[in-house]
Structure 1
């Protein structure tokens, strides 16, 4: 199943279209089943999206939201994806949503894996939408090329996995690849010409271990839309 690439003139137009698309997906799930589930990622572009999405009038009390990955820092830390979601998405109407954090308060992500897995088990699955980003090294979520934890996170015996990050960055918790793919739909945000070149490389032949986002792009079970703007 070849990913669909949707190009936009600028990031503003992309965010507007994606907010409408995400809201439509959630509305459809709420009509069909009375509940919906959304996986989101951190970053500057998602932050703009969250501002547009959180003000929409949905039945947010029946929407579950979690993160694709999280740095192992306290929830109030500026580097925390949870902090970003709470300050930019879970405000206004969306404050009623059921947020499922990945950080458990344990000293390490390894110590928190079991508790995190129990939290995730309470979410409606398959996820209605998984929203991912992509790094310039071809990583997605916290699935980094060269990581000693990569194979375990790609194979995914459980819903989440403790992983290291490159350099001095904090360790992380990530949803495993089988968990990310347990979805009705996946959207990947790509902005800038440099990342478009990375995307083109990821769509070309090569090992998944070199560019882990390839595991999402190459699978045939879940439709993938790529939202790109320069």
Structure 2
């Protein structure tokens, strides 16, 4: 099982500033070593401040591939689209040169679009250099939702698929998500979260009396390297 390395900050601005610098350094090192780098980011409200700092980083963004940990099966112009958030907050300024590959493809459902979405990702270097995940109040990460009927296959450490179609019971929209093996194989896995409630939930997951093993713990347990948690109140 991978260990957790905690990075605690007094406030979210400090967290975003230092995390952006750390991610940029890792991407620059990957470019220097392998000629290109891959970055997987998450949607939601938490990453917006991080993206504002990261997009100003003076690295060779033209050699950075960017994609999403998961996506709602909606058009890129939809208010709930993670791609829309990334385009509005990350792929600007210096990061406008990054090579972005979205997860939403043709097809009315994620199941119909799964093969095309998988093919779109073929050019992105793997294992990913940096994966930045969030965590929901229910312990989901990416779109690996507790109670989703497809969860068991998506978090199977021996699974061969990179992507999975997910039908959450507790959240709107059908989803497409990277599977546990694809996320956990990252050269650097980062959990970016804020708030006391989420910190307490994660700590309880690693206590001896945890009532159940939630998806976030499954991913951390399977991680190739230690998971870095960046947290602020």
**TM-score of the two chains, using structure 2 as the length reference:** 0.94
Alpha-carbon distance in 2 for matches of 1:208, 1:20: 37
Structural mapping, 1:88-127, within 5 Å: 88-127=89-128
- 1:19-78 deviation per Cα after TM superposition (whole angstroms, max 9, x unaligned): 001000001111111100000001222111111111222111110000000001100001
Equivalent of 1:214, from 212, 217, 220?
Answer: 217
Structure 1 residues 30 and 88: CA distance shift in structure 2, 3 A: same
Structure 1 residues 220 and 92: CA distance shift in structure 2, 3 A: closer
Equivalent pair of 1:11/1:229 in contact (CA under 8 Å)? yes
Alpha-carbon distance in 1 for matches of 2:209, 2:43: 27
Say which SS state the counterpart of residue 58 (structure 2) adopts.
coil
Query: Displacement, 1:206?
Result: 6.8
Say which SS state the counterpart of residue 56 (structure 1) adopts.
coil
Equivalent pair of 2:106/2:116 in contact (CA under 8 Å)? no
Moved more, 200-209 or 55-64: 200-209
- 1:99-133 deviation per Cα after TM superposition (whole angstroms, max 9, x unaligned): 01000032100001001111122110111000000
Alpha-carbon distance in 2 for matches of 1:178, 1:89: 26
In angstroms, what is the RMSD of aligned CA positions? Answer: 1.6
Say which SS state the counterpart of residue 45 (structure 1) adopts.
coil
Q: Which residue of 2 aligns with 1:174?
A: 177
Q: What is the aligned residue count? A: 230
Which blocks of at least 5 consecutive residues in structure 1 are unaligned? none
Equivalent pair of 1:145/1:209 in contact (CA under 8 Å)? no
Structure 1 residues 168 and 229: CA distance shift in structure 2, 3 A: closer
Q: Which residue of 1 aligns with 2:194?
A: 191
Q: Which residue of 2 aligns with 1:153?
A: 154
Say which SS state the counterpart of residue 16 (structure 1) adopts.
helix
Which blocks of at least 5 consecutive residues in structure 2 are unaligned? none
Q: Which residue of 2 aligns with 1:43?
A: 44
**TM-score of the two chains, using structure 1 as the length reference:** 0.95
Equivalent pair of 1:141/1:175 in contact (CA under 8 Å)? yes
Alpha-carbon distance in 2 for matches of 1:112, 1:143: 18
Moved more, 162-171 or 65-74: 162-171
Moved more, 19-28 or 165-174: 165-174
Equivalent of 1:223, from 195, 218, 226?
Answer: 226
Alpha-carbon distance in 2 for matches of 1:168, 1:6: 29
Alpha-carbon distance in 1 for matches of 2:192, 2:175: 21
Structure 1 residues 206 and 133: CA distance shift in structure 2, 3 A: farther
Q: Which residue of 1 aligns with 2:29?
A: 28
